[in-house]
């Protein structure tokens, strides 16, 4: 392996590349999908390949292939060089990567129970047991269960003598109940939206989630939502967001705008830019003084946790919002150097056939002081909303609108009637400035977002977001008239 990787780097350097790196990635994914008691798919997926990135005359080229042979290494290296030369035909400022990176070492995701040692029977058994529980509830039209196990081995080397080897293990699972009534469709998911919760870690998390033990509850909630009162229309009120919803709020309204490539316009044609422009760094009130947000790649179970990023930069933790003030970006070597800083290790590629881009690691809202019970008791009037159902945000990450699967009215410090089709909307800094309470570490959880899209060609990243429930004042709810 190392010999082939060195061959690519040597070839690139001898052809005049100032810098080159190569990643070899071997991904094994095993998944199960169950719907209404039928096992729709048990799949084993195996993919291996390599990608070579070269910098020639200050311009980038990248090529990739599945065939890890000396001949193909040569062809792909030459193609990457040819592409870099073409890039140079329409070049901007010469790329400066800053200080060299020469990381060495091995990293393996810590797991208590290696999920790949769990038999297919036992994996399937969890989903079928949960399905049977949901099937007992009248009125549930569609029952779904999902399980995903990933083991990704990655070797990285560059022309600055870095060589790292890491194995990332992910475990994901979840159930969904959908009830259908007269012109109404309601869904409840557990433990997270859109099919599953996912973490870096082992089978111990599947045991902790206890899908069968929560199946009856979510099935009953889906049915009850059909006849629940609708979210009040066009109203401004207090909102308490559950941790699972707040995780996506952090992802969309903080995680994306702090990507420094967006700030520099690299994603302008597709994902968009950012309202957190350069001059705001260290000079902008992002939220109330209770808002503390960090980005790290070291938290246990985070989907953004690893040993090194895809430029070989070591995993680390960095403040993003400190007591409401905006203090940090997610950076690559190239973008950090433009700010005369060094990378904080956020370059990640979704596969061997994609280039690394600045991606979220674990962007998390730090816990506050409140017990959830006390926070609700402290709220005279408002709505508690949980579990994302819909999300949309503008290309600068400013105007957002979210919908949640379930809501509850808060009246005189108590949770009251269930509410369906809850939506809320706002402007990012105004919303975070209205945050006046965050729950404590007892309610804080690391949520996984395994479906973050960015880049062209498209890349799907897995990101982590720690969050506990928090309260926001004067939020516009009920955008969708019913």
Partner 1 sequence: MLGREKAKDICKEVLRRAGKDAAEVILSFEEQSLTRFANNYIHQNVAQRNVTLMVRLLWGKRMGLATTNRLDGHGLDILVERARANAKISPEDPDYPGLPELAQYVAVDAFDQATAGYSPQERATAVGTACRLTGEKGLNGSGLFSTGTNEIVVANTLGLFGYHSSTNGDFQIVVAAEDASGREQGSGWRVTDIPTESLARSAIQKAEDGTDPHLIDPGEYGVVLTPYATEDLLNMLNYYGMGAQAVLEGRSWMNDRMGEKVMSELVDIRDDGLEPEGVPMPFDFEGVPKQRVDVVERGVVQGPVYDRITARKMGKTTTGHALPPTMRSLGPIATNLFMSPGKTSTEAMIRSTERGLYISRFWYTRLVHPRDCVITGMTRDGVFFIENGELAYPVKDLRFTQSYVEALAKVETVGKETRLLMSEFGGQATRAPALKISEFSFTGLTA
Q: Which of residues 67-86 bind partner 1 (CB under 8 A)?
A: 79-80, 82-86
Is 472 among the residues that bind partner 1 (CB under 8 A)? no
CB of 293 to partner 1, least distance (A): 21
Question: What string marks each residue from 346 to 365 as x (binds partner 1 by CB under 8 A) or -?
Answer: -------xxx----------
Site for partner 1 in 278-307 (CB under 8 A): none
In whole angstroms, what is the distance from residue 425 CA to residue 428 CA? 9
Is 63 among the residues that bind partner 1 (CB under 8 A)? yes
CB of 150 to partner 1, least distance (A): 13
Is 378 among the residues that bind partner 1 (CB under 8 A)? no
CB of 474 to partner 1, least distance (A): 15
Is 11 among the residues that bind partner 1 (CB under 8 A)? no
Is 16 among the residues that bind partner 1 (CB under 8 A)? no
In whole angstroms, what is the distance from residue 60 CA to residue 362 CA? 28
CB of 242 to partner 1, least distance (A): 19
Burial bucket for residue 415 (CB in 10 Å: 0-12, 13-18, 19+) = middle
Site for partner 1 in 384-443 (CB under 8 A): 390-396, 398-399, 401, 403, 421, 423, 425, 427
Among 3, 14, 71, 89, binds partner 1 (CB under 8 A): 89
Site for partner 1 in 144-163 (CB under 8 A): 144
Taking each helix axis from N to C terminus, what angle separates 2-14 and 70-88, rounded to the nearest 10 degrees? 40
Distance in Å from the first CA to the final CA of the chain: 60
Site for partner 1 in 168-207 (CB under 8 A): 178, 180, 183-185
Is 15 among the residues that bind partner 1 (CB under 8 A)? no
Among 20, 59, 168, 254, binds partner 1 (CB under 8 A): 59
CB under 8 A: which stretch of 45-53, 101-109, 163-171, 212-220 binds partner 1? Answer: 45-53
Is 108 among the residues that bind partner 1 (CB under 8 A)? no
Residue 70, number of CB atoms within 10 A of its CB: 11
- Nearest CA to 357 out of 305, 407, 311 is that of 311
Is 1 among the residues that bind partner 1 (CB under 8 A)? no
Site for partner 1 in 219-248 (CB under 8 A): none
Is 35 among the residues that bind partner 1 (CB under 8 A)? yes
Question: Which CB atom, from 35 or from 285, has the smaller least distance to partner 1?
Answer: 35
Contact status, residue 330 vs residue 358, Cβ threshold 8 Å: yes
DSSP 480: S
List the Cα angle 432/433/437 in 5-degree steps. 75
CB of 108 to partner 1, least distance (A): 23
- The secondary structure of 218-276 as a DSSP string is HHHHHHHHHTSEEPPSSEEEEEEE-HHHHHHHHIIIIITTTBHHHHTTTTTTTT---SS
Contact status, residue 335 vs residue 260, Cβ threshold 8 Å: yes
CB of 358 to partner 1, least distance (A): 12
Task: Please name the residue ranges forming H helices in 96-234.
Answer: 120-135, 204-209, 211-226
The size of the chain, in residues, is: 482
Q: How far is CA 36 from CA 22, 89, 138, 144, 184, in A?
A: 44, 56, 13, 6, 20
CB of 328 to partner 1, least distance (A): 23
In whole angstroms, what is the distance from residue 342 CA to residue 331 CA? 8
Question: Which CB atom, from 264 or from 306, has the smaller least distance to partner 1?
Answer: 264
Among 10, 40, 74, 380, binds partner 1 (CB under 8 A): 40
CB of 325 to partner 1, least distance (A): 20
CB of 403 to partner 1, least distance (A): 6
Q: Hey, what are 291's tokens?
A: 């808002």
């Amino acid at each position: 392996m190392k010999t082939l990787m060195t061959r690519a780097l040597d070839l690139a350097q001898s052809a005049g590349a100032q810098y080159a790196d190569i990643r070899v990635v071997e991904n094994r994914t095993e998944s199960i999908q169950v719907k209404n008691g039928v096992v729709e798919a048990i799949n084993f997926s195996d993919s291996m390949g390599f990608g070579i990135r070269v910098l020639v005359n200050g311009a980038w080229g990248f090529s990739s292939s599945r065939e890890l042979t000396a001949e193909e290494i040569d062809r792909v290296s030459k193609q990457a060089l040819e592409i870099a030369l073409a890039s140079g035909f329409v070049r901007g400022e010469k790329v400066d990567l800053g200080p060299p990176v020469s990381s060495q070492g091995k990293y393996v995701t810590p797991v208590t129970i290696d999920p790949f040692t769990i038999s297919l029977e036992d994996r399937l058994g969890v989903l079928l047991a949960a399905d049977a529980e949901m099937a007992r509830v009248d009125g549930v039209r569609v029952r779904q269960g999902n399980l995903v196990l990933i083991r990704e081995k990655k070797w990285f080397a560059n022309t600055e003598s870095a060589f790292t080897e890491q194995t990332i293990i992910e475990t994901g699972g979840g159930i969904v109940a959908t009830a259908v009534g007269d012109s109404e469709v309601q869904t409840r998911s557990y433990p997270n939206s859109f099919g599953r919760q996912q973490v870096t870690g082992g089978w111990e998390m599947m045991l902790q989630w206890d899908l069968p033990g929560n199946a009856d509850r979510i099935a009953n909630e889906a049915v009850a939502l059909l006849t629940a009162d609708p979210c009040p229309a066009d109203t401004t009120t207090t909102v308490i967001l559950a941790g699972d919803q707040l995780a996506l709020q952090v992802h969309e309204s903080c995680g994306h705008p702090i990507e420094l490539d967006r700030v520099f316009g690299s994603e302008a044609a597709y994902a968009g830019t950012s309202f957190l422009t350069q001059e705001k760094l260290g000079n902008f009130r992002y939220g109330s003084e209770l808002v503390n947000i960090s980005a790290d790649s070291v938290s246990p179970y985070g989907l953004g946790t690893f040993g090194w990023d895809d430029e070989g930069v070591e995993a680390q933790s960095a403040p993003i919002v400190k007591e409401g003030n905006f203090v940090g970006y997610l950076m690559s070597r190239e973008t950090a150097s433009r700010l005369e800083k060094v990378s904080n290790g956020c370059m990640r590629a979704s596969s061997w056939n994609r280039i690394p881009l600045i991606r979220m690691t674990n962007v998390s809202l730090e816990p506050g002081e409140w017990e959830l019970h006390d926070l609700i008791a402290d709220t005279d009037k408002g709505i508690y909303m949980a579990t994302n159902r819909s999300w949309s945000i503008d290309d600068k990450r400013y105007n957002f609108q979210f919908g949640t699967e379930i809501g509850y009215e808060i009246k005189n410090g108590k949770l009251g009637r269930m509410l369906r089709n809850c939506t809320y909307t706002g402007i990012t800094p105004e919303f975070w400035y209205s945050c006046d309470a965050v729950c404590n570490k007892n309610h804080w959880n690391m949520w996984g977002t395994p479906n973050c899209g960015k880049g062209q060609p498209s890349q799907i990243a897995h990101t982590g977001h720690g969050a506990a429930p928090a309260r926001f004042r004067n939020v516009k709810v009920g955008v969708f008239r019913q």
